[in-house]
Amino acid sequence: MELTNAKDVYRFGKVEIDFRKETVVMGILNVTPDSFSDGGRFNTIDAALRRAEEMIREGAKVIDVGGESTRPGHIPISSSEEIDRITPIIEALTRELDCAVSIDTYKSDVAEAAVQAGAHIINDIWGAKHDPAIAQIAAKHKVPIILMHNRKEAVYESPVMEEVLTDLEESVSIALEAGVAKGDIWLDPGIGFAKDTTQNILVMQGLQRISNMGYPLLLATSRKRMIGNVLGLPVNERMEGTGATVCYGMEHGCHMVRVHDVKEISRMVKMMDVLIGKTAFKE
Catalytic residue among 61, 107, 195, 258: 258
Find out whether 60 and 267 touch, Cβ atoms under 8 Å. Answer: no
| Catalytic residue list contains 258 | yes
Give me the residues paired with residue 24 across strands.
256
Note if 223 is an active site residue: no
Contact partners, residue 174, CB within 8 Å, separation at least 6: 127, 128, 129, 132, 135
Catalytic-labelled residue, pool 224, 238, 267, 278:
224
> Using CA atoms, how far apart are residues 130 and 45, in angstroms rounded to an integer?
29
Residues acting as catalytic residues: 224, 258
